Each structure stands twice: as structure tokens, then as C-alpha cells.
Structure 1
Amino acid sequence: MRSFRRSLLPAVLALAVVAPASAQSLLDYVGECVPFARAASGIQIYGNAWTWWDQAAGRYDRGHRPRVGSVMVFAKTPRLPMGHVAVVSRIVEKRVLMLTHANWSRQNGERGHAEQDVTLYDVSPGNDWSSVKVWYRDNDGLGGGIYPVQGFIYAQGRAAPELTGAHPDDVGALIDAYVPDARPLR
């Protein structure tokens, strides 16, 4: 039995060395939203998500219009005591975009997983992205909560290539936003 184990050892070690490199996808990430947003956008800000807006002042351009690769900063609220940051992966139309982020919906019963091309809908009265609804996997639709947003921090470099999928569901995103009771087949 020992010789059998010894003969397998080189193969097991080879797999251990190769497997992490092939599994180093941004979408395999499990953890908090801040390190994920930093890796996906290239914006090098640290600390709780709600602090990013003020920390970006003078270091990064900021504004209230989404751009692909920019980081959307959610304000600190009772539901989001640390705030939240997410990276804009696709602009669908003037009030609908897609985010790629981590630690929002539960997947396999736990939080922390990355989600790609998640629908987000601007519900602010002034169409200025100051209040949004976000797709929530557990509801299989836009969540019931409205979240205040501080704005967008614009990345200086290129965003991660995995930020958006090859075939995101733009039509589904529009239906989710404008006809939430339609529940399209996915």
C-alpha cells in the first residue's frame, strides 16, 4: 500500500501545482466585496466599502454616471453596515446596467461568491443613480430593497476581462427592470 501511495505522490503534487493556476478565475472568488472590486477594477482603495467614495477624492475621478469598469459605491445603511462595492460590467440602457460583484446573493447556501452581469436598476427620482434595486438570486429577481449609492469611481486602467460574460442577457435585464412580474425563463 505504501508503494502505491508513493507512486501516486508525483501525480498528486503535479495536480496541486497546476490546479490553482487553471482555477484562478475572478469568478471563482469567494469572500468580501472589497478585495473582489479591487481585483476586478484595478482601483487600489482599502477599507470598508462605504469609505471608498471619500478615499477616492483626489486619487481617482468620481461621478454619477456609470462606465464599464467603474466601481459603484453603495452607502452605509442598516442593511449594508459596511456598504458595498460592485464593478459595472455592462451598460444596458440609461437606467439599467449590469454589475459583477461578490458577497451579495447566497449561492449554495452561503454568501461571498462572485456573480457576473447582475441586473441593477436606477430607481432614483432624478435618474442620477443615487438609488438602485439590485438582482437578488434568492428572489430570482430584483430585490425588494432600494439602496442609496454614493456614485461611481472611475478606474484608470483596464478592468478584468472576466467582468462581463460572452453573452449577457440584456433583454432579460430590461424585463427584470421594467416588467419585474414577468419572470422570464433563464
Structure 2
Amino acid sequence: MRLGIIFASACAIVALSAPARSAALLDYVGQCVPFARAASGIQIFGDAWTWWDKADGHYQRGETPRAGAVIVFARTARLPLGHVAVISRVVDARVVMVTHANWSRQNGERGHAEQDVTLTDVSPDNDWSTVKVWYRDMEGLGSTAYPTYGFIYGKALAHGASARPARELTSSDPDYVGALIDAYR
């Protein structure tokens, strides 16, 4: 009986710490990793910057953004654990929208989910190895350029099941014009 109570308590803690794949996905407040896992369906665990290596041999990886893919930010002084975000829309060759958590402050706190946020490729070789991200506090692209490893796609290799992105990944009416204005002003 005691073991059953401990197991039930552990399951409740896990359930509360990970976002549900439901309409409440965008109500999530917490770290980017559990959010990206729920939003993309890609089942990788660990700090965000470790996702790139952990995907090797399990999921396809590449340098081209696709809706539902996870972009993996490298670890830096500003991002000691890295960051992961899910591509919600491809706008043009150098501009995408992402849905992610724990980036901008909302109501004075970090951790909130944001949908269809502008992310632009600022790499010199147009390979998405360096990006800038829309930041709510500035109401535009942040001034910092972040290094990335690339994109992890939901297509599993070998015998794994392919990931299914959450239906709340993108809105029904994303602001493409606003994303382009943010990226090119």
C-alpha cells in the first residue's frame, strides 16, 4: 500500500511538471525542454543544448527549418542550458515562427509559452547556425545573436514512432507580415 502511494505521488509530480498536450499547452509556465517535448512530440530528455547529440541515431537532423521541427540553441554565457523551440511556421528562407516557453517575461515572470514568435537566420552563410529571436520586452527582435546546432525533425530513425506536433503549435491566423517586418527592419 505504501509503495502504491509513493508511486501515485511520483506520477502526480511528473504530471504537474510537464505540459499536457491539450488546449492548455499555451497556458504552460516552466522550462523550454518539457514544453518543446509536448509541443513537438519529439521524446528527448536532458538540458536543451544536449538535444542535438541525443537526437543522433534516433531522429533526423538538418539545417532546413520545417514546421514541427525543434531548433536547438547552443549553450552560451546567456543560455547556460541552451534553449529549444518548435518551428510553428516557415515564413521565408530566413524567417520562421516558433512556439516556445521560458524566453520573454510576461507579467514580470519568465517561463510562459509564446506562440508564433519571429525567429530569423542571421548567419553569414544562410545556414541557420546563428539566429535572433523576437523578445517581448523589446517588442521586436532581441539584439543578441544566438548560435544553434540545427533542426531535429519528428521523423524517427530505425524502429521508433514519428513525432506528432501538438495542434496548438501555431495559431489559425499568424502575423506573417509582422514577422517579416521584425526580421528585416
Q: What is the TM-score when the length of structure 1 is the normalising length?
A: 0.83
Does 2:117 correspond to 1:118?
A: yes
Is residue 174 of structure 2 the alignment partner of residue 175 of structure 1? no
Q: Is the 8 A contact 2:23 2:168 kept in 1?
A: no
- Deviation, 1:25, is 1.4
Q: Tell me how far apart the structure 1 counterparts of residues 167 and 52 of structure 2 sit (CA, whole Å).
A: 24
Q: 1:60 corresponds to which residue? A: 59
The SS at the match of 2:59 is coil
Q: Secondary structure at the match of 1:61?
A: strand
**In structure 1, C-alpha distance between the alignment counterparts of 2:138 and 2:84, rounded to whole Å:** 21
The separation in 2 between residues aligned to 1:96 and 1:47, in whole angstroms, is 27
Match of 1:182 in 2: none
Which residue of structure 2 lines up, in the alignment, with residue 100 of structure 1?
99
Structure 2: how far apart are the matches of 1:177 and 1:70?
A: 20
Equivalent residues, number: 158
Q: CA deviation at 1:157?
A: 2.8
Residue 40 of structure 1 is matched in structure 2 by 39
Displacement after TM superposition at 1:148 (Å): 0.3
Question: Residue 137 of structure 1 aligns with which residue?
Answer: 136
Counterparts of residues 1-20 of structure 1 (less than 5 Å): none
Shift of 1:24: 4.9
Q: Does 1:160 align with 2:169?
A: no
Q: Any gaps of 5 or more consecutive residues in structure 1?
A: 1-20, 180-186
Partner of residue 128, structure 1: 127
1:68-88 per-position Cα deviation (integer Å, ceiling 9, x unaligned)? 000000000000000000000
Write the distance in 2 (CA, Å) between the matches of 1:169 and 1:42: 25
**CA-CA distance at 1:158 after TM superposition:** 2.2
What are the Cα deviations for residues 124-160 of structure 1, in whole angstroms up to 9, with x where unaligned?
Answer: 0111000000000000000000000100000123210
The aligned residue for residue 109 of structure 1 is: 108
1:147 maps to which residue? 146
SS in 2 for 1:138: helix
Q: In the alignment, residue 92 of structure 2 is paired with which amino acid? A: E
Q: What amino acid maps onto 1:49 in structure 2?
A: A
Kindly state the Cα deviation for residue 104 of structure 1 after the two structures are TM-superposed. Answer: 0.1
Shift of 1:117: 0.2
Task: Say if 2:76 is the partner of 1:77.
Answer: yes
Unaligned runs of 5+ in 2: 1-19, 155-161
Report the TM-score when normalising by structure 2.
0.84
CA deviation after TM superposition for structure 1 residue 47, in Å: 0.5
**Superposition CA RMSD, Å:** 1.2
Superposed CA deviations along residues 12-71 of structure 1, whole A, max 9, x for unmatched, are xxxxxxxxx9x8511000000000000001111111000000000000000010010000
Q: Matches of residues 21-36 of structure 1 in structure 2 within 5 Å?
A: 24-36=23-35
CA distance, structure 1, for counterparts of residue 23 and residue 72 of structure 2? 26
* CA distance in structure 1 between the partners assigned to 2:132 and 2:45 by the alignment: 25
Q: Which residue matches 2:8?
A: none
Corresponding position of 2:5: none
Q: Which amino acid aligns with 1:48?
A: D
